Amino acid sequence: MKCYPKLANLLQHYLLVVHPVKAELVRVVKGPKEYHVYIEYLWTRNDSALTPELMYMSILDFTARYFDSPIGAQEYFL
């Protein structure tokens, strides 16, 4: 709900078109085990789900590279 509309539109296209096609390619190339991991998790690397720590470091690396400022995500506790 709080996502920028253009970003939300891009994410919808990714989730409805690109991600399923990539999942089918993974199924054909690597097999059913990797396919199930890819379908279950949105963010994967080397045929396994990204851990929160690895995702946090990926965000820092991305923002440092493209924005010249390492901006991280904060974990919120309920």
pTM of the model: 0.65
pLDDT band at 47 (very low <50, low <70, confident <90, very high): confident
Handedness of CA 26, 18, 67, 8 (dihedral sign): negative
pLDDT band at 70 (very low <50, low <70, confident <90, very high): confident
Alpha-carbon dihedral 75, 1, 7, 46, rounded to 10 degrees: 40
Tokens for 30, please give them: 């690597």
Return mean pLDDT, the chain.
Answer: 86
The more confident residue out of 9 and 70 is 9
Please give the DSSP secondary-structure letter assigned to residue 18. Answer: I
pLDDT band at 78 (very low <50, low <70, confident <90, very high): very low
